[in-house]
Chain A
Amino acid sequence: MGLEIAFWILAITAVVAALAVVSLRNIFRAALCLILCFLSIAGIFVILSADFLAAVQVLINVGAIAILIILAIMLTREVERGSLPNKMQFPVLASVALFLGIAVFAVIRTPWQVSDLSPIEPTTTELANKLFGEGGFILPVEIAAVLLLATIIGAIVLMRER
């Protein structure tokens, strides 16, 4: 019962925050609403018994990405201009609405095969096993590491002052 209430609150918060991100004039406030959106998503993870993931979401998405976005807003003085729509507003709106309609239709109509097993709690040990253990995802982990290295180097190169 509690879970349902929590879900609804978090869901509505996420949706409203997302709407705010895309429609607020002031970009800085939009960034703050992004943070709110991320926090709501973290809450949803908790409802889904993905506790480790919720923590990761908050740490990285909120703590790093959102901060980075705010940094970029400051550096490029976007606040002065504001968030404006471009010429394609209405066609995009129509397409997106159509997309949403079809997605919801597909989701509701499909007979999902839901299993009755209860989720694993806590997930940390299990995740660790999955990532680093036998027959796990160790290769993607290594590749992710290389990817992050490339990202750092790329960012530095792009940002160098001539």
Chain B
Amino acid sequence: MTLGLEHFLVLSSVLFAIGLYGALSKRSAVVILMSIEIMLGAVSIAMVAFSRYVVPALLIGQVFTIFIIVVAAAEATVGLAIIIAIYRRRETIDITKIDLMKW
């Protein structure tokens, strides 16, 4: 079959779902970060697919994806810095143990 917009979008949805599952149900902070990266990647695919199939001349989706990648980099940096800082304090990055904001 010829490739259509739907294929890419379905792929994007599946990857997003997998990333979502990992982000919500894992204990290790690093794994959560990796899952977030997967989600961002899935969104990038969707953006680019839209750009290519709906308005190929404008390349807006690709521009957007560039920014997504920039922000993902920044976020990963700061996130990992935080994780290491917490590890220094508490010897653990099991986020079920870091719950000071509960009632």
Contact = CB atoms under 8 A, between A and B. Distances in A.
A140 B13 CA distance: 27
A112 B18 contact: no
Contacts of B44: 41, 45, 53, 57
Given A14-B15, A22-B31, A126 B20 contact: no
Interface in B52-82: 52-57, 59-60, 62-63, 65-67, 69-74, 76-78, 80-82
Contacts of A44: 8, 11, 45
Interface in A1-58: 3-4, 7, 11, 14-15, 18-19, 21-22, 27, 30-31, 34, 37-38, 41, 44-45, 47-50, 52-53, 56-57
B25 A147 contact: no
Contact of B34 (A34, A45, A50, A76): A34
Interface string A63-107: 011001101110110100111111111001100110110011001
A15 B11 contact: yes
Interface of B: 1-11, 13-22, 24-28, 30-31, 33-35, 37-38, 41, 44-45, 48-49, 51-57, 59-60, 62-63, 65-67, 69-74, 76-78, 80-85, 87, 93-96
